[in-house]
Homo-oligomer: A and B are copies of this chain.
Amino acid sequence: MPTTPTQTTAGPAPAGSARQRVRAELVREITDVARRHLAADGAAALSLRAVARDVGLVSSAVYRYFPSRDHLLTALIVDAYNALGEAVETAEAAVDRADVGERFATVGRAARAWARANPHQYGLIYGSPVPGYAAPDDTVGPATRVAFVLRDILRDSWSSGALRAPTTMPRSAAVWADLHRLAADFFTDVPEAVIARGVLAWTQLFGGINFELFGHLHTVITDYDAWYEELLAEMVAFVGLDA
C-alpha cells in the first residue's frame, strides 16, 4: 500500500514548514478537547462530532488529522499512559534513593492518586479494551513506564543488598523460563524468584486500584486510603523490601 496521505501523530519533517506547524497545533488542540470530553463523560460517550464542534471544525475536517474515531481514542490512550507514567516517575524521583520500600510504596500511591483524579482515563487504559482492542505499537512504549520504575527499584535494591530474597521458588519450568528471559533482558543479576514476586506485586498494585475504582470493594472497605496503605505495606514486605 502507498504511504498514508494523512499522518496521524506528527508530520514527516520535525518542525518544518508553517503548514506543518499549524497542523501539529491543530492535532494538539483536537486531542486536548477530546481529552476534556473523555475526562468529563467517559470513553463511550466520546463523540468525534462533538469534539469537532468544540474545536470549531466540521466533523469531516477532523478526518484530515485522525483517520477514525478509534485512532483518536488511541491517541488518548497513549496520552493517558504518559500522564500516569510521568506522575509516577516524578513522585518516585523525589524519594530518597536508599529507601527502596518507600520508593515502591510511592509508586503505588502516585498511581492510585492519578487514577482517582482521572478515573475515565484510567479506565481507558486499565479497564476493558474499548472496541476490538488490538493495541497498536504506539502504546507499548508509554505503557511500560510504570513497570520500568518498579523494575529499577527492584534492581537497585538487589544490587545494594537491601532486598531479602524470597524463600519460594518458581514452581514450574515454564514460569522459570519466562522469568529467566526477563532477568536477561530487563533485569541484571536479580534472581527469578524476586522477579516473580515483583510481577505479582505489580498486578496487585493495579488490581487494588481497579477493585476500588470499579466498585468491587463497595461493601467491603470504607476507608480506601487506609486500605491501600495496608496493601502497599503488605506488598513491600512481599517482595522483600521492608527494612
Residues of B within 8 A of A93 (CB): none
* Cβ of A160 under 8 Å from chain B: no
**Is B214 in contact with A204, judged by CB distance below 8 angstroms?**
no
* Cβ of A60 under 8 Å from chain B: no
Residues of B within 8 A of A140 (CB): 218-219
Q: Which of B45, B123, B170, B171 contacts A128 (CB 8 A)?
A: B123
**Is A226 in contact with B129, judged by CB distance below 8 angstroms?**
no
If A207-B204, A221-B178 touch, whether A172 touches B128 (CB-CB below 8 Å) is no
Q: Report how far A178 CA is from B226 CA in the complex, Å.
A: 10
Q: Report how far A204 CA is from B237 CA in the complex, Å.
A: 16
Interface size class of A (residues with CB under 8 A): 35 or more
CB distance from A222 to the nearest CB of B (A): 6
What are 25 residue pairs bridging A and B, where the CB atoms are less than 8 Å apart in the complex?
A: A123-B128, A126-B210, A126-B214, A128-B128, A129-B214, A140-B218, A144-B219, A147-B220, A170-B230, A171-B229, A171-B230, A172-B229, A174-B222, A174-B225, A174-B227, A175-B223, A178-B221, A178-B227, A199-B217, A200-B204, A203-B211, A206-B207, A206-B210, A207-B207, A207-B208
